[in-house]
Structure 1
Amino acid sequence: MKDPLVRLRESMLATGYTLDGVRERLGDVAATALSREELVPALRATRDGDPLGTLIRLWWLGVPVEPPPGLPVAELAAAGLLAAADGGQVVAAVHLQPWETGGYVVSDRKVRPGDPALRADHVVGAGGASANLAQLVSRRPVRRALDLGTGCGVQVLHLADRAEEIVATDVNPRALELARLSWALSGIEGVDAREGSLFEPVAGELFDLVVSNPPFVISPRGRFTYRESGLRGDDFCRDLVRQAPRLLNPGGTCQLLANWLHVEGEDWRDRVGGWLAGTGCDGWAVQRDVQDPAEYVELWLRDAAEQGTARYGELYDDWLGWFEAENVTGVGFGWISMHDSGSLDPVVRVEEYGGRVELPVGGYVDEVLAAIGRAHRLTGAELLAARLRLAGGVVEERIGPPGAEDPSTIMLRQTRGLGRTARAGMVEAALAGVCDGDYPLAPLLSAIADLTGESAADLLEKAPDSLRALIAEGFFHISTG
């Protein structure tokens, strides 16, 4: 007889319990409401009792249902997925959701207002942070990958098609238990799951890729293992950034999510840049969002379904008081990527960017890291000898009064990748129009000097510094062909 998890997976696929199937079955209104944790539209959309609607109610909405035909109830109950309910019905003991990879993610049931308090070893499901990390991680095939703090195991679903060997760790035994269910229901075999804190389970080992969606939440004390480390402030994220590169093979990459404090009298860029300095890796940190202390506290009290409880005001006040004592003015959230380039002169770039980006970032993140390092390390003479080409998707925008002979502002804008914009002078704009990788930079600059009446010597001296930022930000590539 087939394994009950295999039978369940086959049943869900046959019924259409997939991400696309659920979206189509619910419709836009109910699906959007569900993303806000509002269940009523989804309950209305699934009240007919059809097979797909029943599975949505059972596994996603968490309400009792009549057991669908063919569901191996006894076996799934023994595996910890189902529990008995009144009237011969069954109710899910876990939250089981289809994921964008085509697999499934098993976690503890979502806690909503009015539910009992979270258990200390609660295993949170895949959400926005999980999706953000999955979009960031390099698509480059690797031999060994590590998912540090795997939680419900969702990152492994993304790594399975590009890593020959995957190790997944977590300090929470229950997380590993549910992660194994996620992998089994997704048809993923051979994951080496290990219990332990931080780097202990992989001491002395090296990997080509390390990913982590760590317990980055900053709070007065650690209450829930899935989101808080118990270390002071943002020390956990700092230590993770400083120590993770020790796990990398030459040429390896580490990519993770992090929170960091904004402290009165301190530039957050210096704080995060200080974490990256001394790692021996090229580093790229991007702040995607920043919240004031009250917003941050409200977000994570909602996350634990503590709004409206008797302790809400007390917890809120205690958290804000702690932030005040630490002189915290805000909390930043973002990405951190590190690459062991082997350079004796590693480069660190820290920036704030909240704009829309082309997804997945992992499709071009290796190029971003390479460009940052290359722009920093090229000498002026090497840059003048290099052959530049304009990156694909870069357009020019000229702004000025109607009828004016010359624009007051020239902007270069990326329509692909990170979608950056940069102000350009006449020289940079002229280069953007002619550099196609055929000629070295020096003769192009000399020709531009002849056309503009500038001194060629001055232009050759100044241009390398002005072009470095445009190369680092991906507006120009250095041709290697």
Structure 2
Amino acid sequence: MLPVKAPSDLLRRLRARFDETGYTIDGVRERLGDVAAAALAREELVPALRATKDVDPLAALIRLWWLGVPVSTAAADLPLSELVQCGLLVKVGDAVQASVHVQPWETGGYLVSDRKVRPGDPAIRRDHVVGAGGASANLAQLITRRPVERALDLGTGCGVQVLHLAERADRIVATDVNRRALELSQLSWGLSGIEDVDARKGPMYDPVHDERFDLIVSNPPFVISPNGRFPYRESGYQGDAFCHELVRQAPAHLNPGGHFQALANWLHVKGEDWQDRVGGWLAETGCDGWAVQRDAQDPAEYVELWLRDAAEQGSPAYRDRYDEWLAWFDAQNVVGIGFGWITVHNSGTLDPVVRVEELSQQVELPVGAYLDDVLAGITAAHRLTDDDLLDLALKLSEGVLEERVGPPGAEDPTRIVLRQTRGLRRAASVGTVEAALAGVCDGDLRLGPLLGAIGDIIGEENLAPGPLRALIAEGYFQFS
């Protein structure tokens, strides 16, 4: 059942109890120790249960709200009758057990969701509200840090992105198709001291059909499956059509200068280039767009991942569902599934730029802190003419290193690589001209005279600036 609405005063007192007991990210990690904390991150409870077996006040909160095990009423120093009355706790003999999962979050707030379903537990209910995990954290790291007036969290789930948006948005609208998600997310916001979030029920952009925002974020139900059994992860749309539609409709809800940022899955179809597929989505928007594939899985890996997510591995239906899913992928000629980020910027340009790329390496976090620079480099490299480039004073970006590879004692290297140690941490093989420019571009001298001087040294006249476009787009050079 759904918890009844918890009084705001009760949530404030519960939050105060969390604070004074140390039920925070750092407090839980310190109380559990490295081994148990690492095991808990892998959803293994036994080390954490052992670490909290003495049931001191903090241990009691960890066992009750995070591990989901009963705690004796004597050890649970909480307003038990009120928490039972609103459905957050249930009586189990002379103990109490949480009906929800409450986890401290990196913002200093708290997230309320359904308890993690593990092998052997009853099947996930259709209106299950998943807690924050790796995908939620990834999206939070991607979102621009620019302050905005109006923000939309589309598909809010347990409300995690609102905890991040509250720091930079004056007004927030949060939507979800799941009424239970909206109720639990409001508990998250209440425990986190966030007020006046406008929560609305409905699919896609329906709850905001005639409204515009400065920032739209979404960790949508992107899982691609033959049916939509679980709304928290699956939309019921065919293939990757939901993510396509989410992107396509975004500009109609963006103010000038606004950003749409979302996680997405997309299909790799036999005989097609996945970059053309996702690039086509962005091209339809008429806005500047940037898509990044962070990972790709073959169909079997993908199916296994999401069957484990629903704790169906080892269940009687496991093999049949696995086979059905693979057969469906085969029928669609699917050879892989990509996972990544999508950003749309309503810059107002008549010459929109779309970039689609794969970045599998670790990147500097948060990406949102330098997102504006990434987008500026992509668009400038596309729009500047050669004459514009020659008249610019460029400087090498901070943290770019040069690597030279070749046989020992050789006069010239066989390969020169520029490697970023900051930002997206790309690496690019370059020629001698680009390497020479990397050594002299300090933001003071214009590119034209520099190219002329390098041309005199290597015996080439009228060196063109065109090869620099890719390096500017990828952030190796910046404008002074």
**Could you give the per-residue CA deviations for residues 276-311 of structure 1, whole angstroms, max 9, x where no partner exists?**
012121111000000000100000000000011110
Q: Which residue of 2 aligns with 1:315?
A: 321
Q: Which residue of 2 aligns with 1:468?
A: 469
After TM superposition, give the deviation of residue 69 of structure 1 in Å. 5.2
After TM superposition, give the deviation of residue 106 of structure 1 in Å. 0.2
After TM superposition, give the deviation of residue 70 of structure 1 in Å. 3.9
Residue 65 (structure 2) aligned to one of 55, 59, 68: 59
Q: Which residue of 2 aligns with 1:380?
A: 386
Say yes or no: does 1:74 pair with 2:84.
no
After TM superposition, give the deviation of residue 467 of structure 1 in Å. 0.5
Q: Which residue of 1 aligns with 2:4?
A: none
- Secondary structure of the 2:225 match is coil
Q: Which amino acid aligns with 1:41?
A: P
Residue 91 (structure 2) aligned to one of 84, 87, 97: 84
Whole-Å separation in 2 of the counterparts to 1:74 and 1:208: 43
Q: Which amino acid aligns with 1:474?
A: G
Q: 1:15 to 1:439 in 2, by over 3 A?
A: same
- Secondary structure of the 2:145 match is coil
Whole-Å separation in 2 of the counterparts to 1:414 and 1:66: 54
After TM superposition, give the deviation of residue 58 of structure 1 in Å. 0.3
Whole-Å separation in 2 of the counterparts to 1:316 and 1:441: 58
Whole-Å separation in 1 of the counterparts to 2:355 and 2:8: 52
Q: Which residue of 2 aligns with 1:359?
A: 365
Q: Which residue of 2 aligns with 1:233?
A: 239
- Secondary structure of the 1:120 match is coil
Residue 410 (structure 1) aligned to one of 403, 412, 416: 416
Task: Indicate the larger mover: 213-222 or 189-198.
Answer: 189-198
Percent sequence identity over matched residues? 71
Say yes or no: does 1:7 pair with 2:5.
no
Q: Which residue of 2 aligns with 1:477?
A: 478
Whole-Å separation in 1 of the counterparts to 2:68 and 2:284: 48
Whole-Å separation in 1 of the counterparts to 2:141 and 2:383: 28
Whole-Å separation in 2 of the counterparts to 1:368 and 1:299: 32
Task: Indicate the larger mover: 220-229 or 402-411.
Answer: 402-411
Q: Which residue of 2 aligns with 1:29?
A: 35
Say yes or no: does 1:274 pair with 2:280.
yes
Whole-Å separation in 2 of the counterparts to 1:290 and 1:298: 14
- Equivalent pairs counted in the alignment come to 473
Q: Which residue of 1 aligns with 2:206?
A: 200
After TM superposition, give the deviation of residue 403 of structure 1 in Å. 1.0
The 8 Å contact of residues 399 and 420 in structure 2, kept in 1 or not, is answered as yes
Q: Give the 5 Å matches for 1:96-245.
A: 96-245=102-251
- Gaps spanning 5+ residues in structure 2: where? 1-6
**Could you give the per-residue CA deviations for residues 399-458 of structure 1, whole angstroms, max 9, x where no partner exists?**
111111111111101010000011111111111111111121101100111111111x2x
Whole-Å separation in 1 of the counterparts to 2:442 and 2:349: 28
- Secondary structure of the 1:277 match is helix
Q: Which amino acid aligns with 1:142?
A: V
**Could you give the per-residue CA deviations for residues 26-61 of structure 1, whole angstroms, max 9, x where no partner exists?**
111111111111110110000011111111100010
- Secondary structure of the 1:278 match is helix
**Could you give the per-residue CA deviations for residues 207-265 of structure 1, whole angstroms, max 9, x where no partner exists?**
11000000000000000010000010000000001111211110001100000000000
Q: Which residue of 2 aligns with 1:301?
A: 307
TM-score between both structures, scaled by the size of structure 1: 0.97
Whole-Å separation in 2 of the counterparts to 1:340 and 1:373: 12
**Could you give the per-residue CA deviations for residues 80-133 of structure 1, whole angstroms, max 9, x where no partner exists?**
2111112x1000000000000000000001101111001101000000000000
Residue 259 (structure 1) aligned to one of 265, 281, 293: 265
The 8 Å contact of residues 148 and 170 in structure 2, kept in 1 or not, is answered as yes
Whole-Å separation in 1 of the counterparts to 2:396 and 2:244: 37
Q: Which residue of 2 aligns with 1:248?
A: 254
Q: Which runs of 4+ in 1 moved over 6 A?
A: none
Whole-Å separation in 2 of the counterparts to 1:330 and 1:466: 33
After TM superposition, give the deviation of residue 2 of structure 1 in Å. 7.9
Residue 326 (structure 1) aligned to one of 320, 329, 332: 332
Whole-Å separation in 2 of the counterparts to 1:276 and 1:63: 46
Whole-Å separation in 2 of the counterparts to 1:110 and 1:77: 20
Whole-Å separation in 2 of the counterparts to 1:431 and 1:350: 27
- Gaps spanning 5+ residues in structure 1: where? none
- Secondary structure of the 1:9 match is helix
- Secondary structure of the 1:21 match is helix
Residue 43 (structure 1) aligned to one of 40, 49, 66: 49
The 8 Å contact of residues 64 and 71 in structure 2, kept in 1 or not, is answered as yes
Whole-Å separation in 1 of the counterparts to 2:434 and 2:368: 28
The 8 Å contact of residues 61 and 76 in structure 2, kept in 1 or not, is answered as no
Whole-Å separation in 2 of the counterparts to 1:80 and 1:387: 64
Whole-Å separation in 2 of the counterparts to 1:80 and 1:241: 38
Whole-Å separation in 1 of the counterparts to 2:55 and 2:181: 32
The 8 Å contact of residues 148 and 214 in structure 2, kept in 1 or not, is answered as yes
